[in-house]
């Protein structure tokens, strides 16, 4: 099975339902557990820039599948701490530069396994240092956040910052009102949100903006009907969800769209059964892909956005979990 998933990869080619649609939990648990043993594979190294995200995805999927202890606790903590840099932030893997995306994953992983206090043992500083790194990336004029010292701004980073600070209980370090106003400025006529003011709506950005409003308890600022309508129109006849109007479905959007709908209490605006079946059909494709030669998967890596290991499974389980809970 390919280590890589992501937009353009998670769909399925056929509409035919397999005989049995069920969660292949044992296989998925095993798959995640052995991800770190595949160091002789090119893809392992080609996806190093996503390693810490990958641990978060795999870990969360394991928790959702009822196997919270499937990854070794101490090694997980140790690996996370190895990714920290002197500035307090975390990189994708040891030796990689600090970035908001990985800093959030680090905080999430430690919170998930009840190990946030381990941060205090880090040679680069504890929770306060991490929070200070996150807060330092806020643009105090506009309220949004940069991803790192190079200054790219995006509502993804704004969300990551607020979430990391909320977990660390340090939102008072940033100007929350300005951040919220910035999210509002990213709202488009369709009720959805983009990366920066003026940018086109995209369901991934909707997730981050609605998430930011949800964390700050300011969902009253959203145009819930219009937003819910736009999100519900992401569902296509085969049950899958797309990221923007007139685009193809992909399993990754199942998560961005569905979790956004859940935050505004409108999951019932789409067909849950059809979505569940779509996701489970993707799972079958994932298993079938085991029979593909490794060569083909390697050959394809550079042609797509490389999402690491476990993302597909994380997306699948998070989404299914939300569907079943709703």
Partner 1 sequence: MCDNVWYSTVFLGARRVSNAQQMQGKENFATSESTKVWWQIYRKVYVSGSIAKWNLIVAKVDEKDFSPALLEKTSTLLRKNPEYYTIWNVRRRIFNNEFNNINRQADQGQLSEDNKYSQVLDIINLDLQFIFPLLLQYPKCYWIWNHRVWLLQQASKYLLADRARSLWEDELKLVSKMLGRDSRNFHGWGYRRIVVENLEDRALNGKSMARDEYDYTTKMIGQNLSNFSAWHNRSRLILCILDEERASTQERQEMLDEEIKFIHKALFDPYDQSLWFYHQHLLSTFDPDIAGASMMPDLSNESRLTYVKAEQEFIEDLIEDVEDSKWVYQALIECALIEAKLVNGLSEKMRTNIKVWLDKLKQLDPLRRGRWIDTEQRLLKDMP
If one asks whether residue 141 binds partner 1 (CB under 8 A), the answer comes out as no
Member of 22, 34, 302, 325 binding partner 1 (CB under 8 A) = 302
What are the residues whose beta carbons fall under 8 Å from the beta carbon of 224, sequence distance 6 or more?
A: 264, 266
235 beta partners: 241
Separation of alpha carbons 114 and 111, rounded Å: 5
HSE on the CB side for 34, CA within 13 Å? 10
Question: Quick one: which of 178, 186, 185 has its CA closest to 162?
Answer: 178
What are the residues whose beta carbons fall under 8 Å from the beta carbon of 131, sequence distance 6 or more?
A: 164, 165, 168, 170, 173
Q: Under rule CB under 8 A, how many of the chain's residues touch partner 1?
A: 57
Measured from the CB atom, the residue of 27 and 276 that comes closer to partner 1 is 276
Measured from the CB atom, the residue of 62 and 306 that comes closer to partner 1 is 306
Site string for partner 1, 277-296 (x = CB under 8 A): ----------------x-xx
Q: Taking the complex as a whole, how short is the minimal distance between the CB of residue 168 and partner 1, in angstroms?
A: 24
Measured from the CB atom, the residue of 118 and 154 that comes closer to partner 1 is 154
Q: Taking the complex as a whole, how short is the minimal distance between the CB of residue 199 and partner 1, in angstroms?
A: 6
CA separation (Å) from 277 to 39, 62, 161, 282, 311? 34, 21, 34, 9, 19
Query: Can you say whether the dihedral through the CA atoms of 35, 36, 39, 40 is positive or negative?
Result: negative
Q: Taking the complex as a whole, how short is the minimal distance between the CB of residue 40 and partner 1, in angstroms?
A: 7
Member of 23, 70, 166, 199 binding partner 1 (CB under 8 A) = 199
If one asks whether residue 124 binds partner 1 (CB under 8 A), the answer comes out as no
What are the residues whose beta carbons fall under 8 Å from the beta carbon of 230, sequence distance 6 or more?
A: 190, 191, 192, 201, 206
Member of 9, 28, 266, 281 binding partner 1 (CB under 8 A) = 266
If one asks whether residue 97 binds partner 1 (CB under 8 A), the answer comes out as yes
Q: Supply the DSSP symbol for 113.
A: T
Q: Taking the complex as a whole, how short is the minimal distance between the CB of residue 7 and partner 1, in angstroms?
A: 7
CA separation (Å) from 186 to 89, 183, 210? 27, 5, 11
Measured from the CB atom, the residue of 102 and 314 that comes closer to partner 1 is 102
If one asks whether residue 139 binds partner 1 (CB under 8 A), the answer comes out as no
If one asks whether residue 82 binds partner 1 (CB under 8 A), the answer comes out as no
Q: Supply the DSSP symbol for 16.
A: P
If one asks whether residue 198 binds partner 1 (CB under 8 A), the answer comes out as yes
Measured from the CB atom, the residue of 24 and 196 that comes closer to partner 1 is 196
Member of 21, 45, 120, 290 binding partner 1 (CB under 8 A) = 45
Separation of alpha carbons 9 and 312, rounded Å: 9
Footprint of partner 1 on residues 224-243 (CB under 8 A)?
A: 228-230, 232-233, 235, 237, 239
Measured from the CB atom, the residue of 72 and 245 that comes closer to partner 1 is 245
Footprint of partner 1 on residues 164-193 (CB under 8 A)?
A: 188-190
Member of 63, 216, 298, 300 binding partner 1 (CB under 8 A) = 298
CA separation (Å) from 113 to 31, 48, 61, 62? 20, 22, 13, 12
Separation of alpha carbons 190 and 300, rounded Å: 35
Q: Which residues would be at the binding site for partner 1 (CB under 8 A)? A: 7, 40-42, 45-46, 48-50, 91-92, 95-97, 99, 148, 150, 152, 188-190, 195-196, 198-202, 228-230, 232-233, 235, 237, 239, 244-247, 266, 268-271, 274, 293, 295-296, 298-299, 301-306
């Amino acid at each position: 099975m390919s280590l890589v998933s992501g937009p353009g990869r998670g769909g399925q080619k056929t509409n035919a339902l397999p005989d049995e649609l069920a969660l292949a939990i044992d296989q998925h648990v095993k798959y995640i557990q052995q991800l770190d043993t595949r160091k002789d594979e090119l893809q392992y190294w080609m996806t190093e820039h996503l390693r810490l995200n990958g641990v978060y995805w795999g870990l969360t999927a394991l928790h959702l599948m009822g196997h919270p202890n499937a990854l070794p606790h101490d090694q997980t903590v140790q690996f996370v701490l190895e990714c920290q840099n002197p500035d307090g932030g975390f990189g994708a893997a040891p030796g990689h530069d600090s970035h908001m995306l990985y800093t959030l994953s680090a905080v999430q992983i430690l919170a998930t396994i009840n190990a946030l206090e381990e941060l205090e043992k880090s040679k680069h500083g504890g929770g306060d240092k991490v929070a200070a790194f996150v807060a330092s990336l806020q643009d105090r004029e506009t309220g949004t956040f940069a991803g790192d010292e190079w200054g790219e701004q995006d509502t993804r980073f704004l969300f990551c910052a607020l979430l990391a600070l909320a977990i660390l209980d340090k939102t008072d370090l940033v100007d929350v009102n300005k951040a919220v106003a910035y999210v509002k400025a990213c709202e488009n006529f369709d009720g959805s949100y983009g990366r920066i003011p003026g940018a086109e709506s995209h369901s991934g950005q909707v997730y981050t903006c609605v998430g930011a409003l949800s964390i700050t308890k300011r969902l009253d600022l959203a145009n819930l009907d219009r937003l819910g309508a736009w999100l519900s129109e992401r569902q296509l006849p085969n049950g899958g969800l797309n990221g923007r109007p007139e685009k193809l479905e992909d399993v990754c959007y199942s998560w961005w769209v569905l979790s956004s709908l859940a935050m505004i209490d409108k999951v019932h605006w789409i067909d849950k059964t059809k979505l569940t079946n779509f996701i489970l059909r993707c799972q079958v494709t994932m298993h079938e892909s085991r029979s593909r030669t490794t060569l083909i998967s390697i050959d394809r890596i550079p042609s797509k956005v490389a999402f690491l290991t476990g993302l597909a499974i994380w997306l699948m389980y998070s989404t299914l979990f939300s569907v079943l809970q709703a």
